[in-house]
Amino acid sequence: MKIGGQDIVIKNTNPTKAWGVILGVVRELWPGAITEREGADAIVYRDDAARTSWKTNGATSENADRMIQVIVHLTSVTVVVGGPEGQAAAEALRVALTA
């Protein structure tokens, strides 16, 4: 699946707790979020409708901002976003991960 979008790199100050922080922030922002995680990489859909749209159509102008990709590295986290809603999620992750 081609995601595209903007890559936002966030300093990861606590790699052992990164996924717990990320999942907590995502659940707060998107209560119906669906996360598909494989290793250091996760795709987070805002809800089931977003997941279905992405799986059926790939990225579209209607759904690009309803999914983010999160990649956890030892010293950083990369968040790939498709618009303002994803950018807001990345900012919330930045605040939580660097607290």
Cα–Cα nearest to 95, from 36, 28, 1, 46: 28
The H or E element containing residue 31 is none
0.75 exceeded by the pTM? yes
| C-alpha span between 68 and 6 (Å, rounded) | 10
Is the pLDDT assigned to residue 28 strictly greater than 60?
Answer: yes
- Per-residue pLDDT, averaged over 9-20, amounts to 89
pLDDT of residue 46: 95
Q: Judging by beta carbons within 10 Å of its beta carbon (0-12, 13-18, 19+), is residue 29 exposed, middle or buried?
A: middle
pLDDT tens digits, 62-89:
999 999 999 999 999 999 999 898 999 9
Q: Which pLDDT score, from 0 to 100, does residue 13 have?
A: 83
Helices (H) and strands (E) in the chain, counts: 3, 5
Among candidate residues 23, 19, 8, the one with its CA nearest the CA of residue 78 = 8
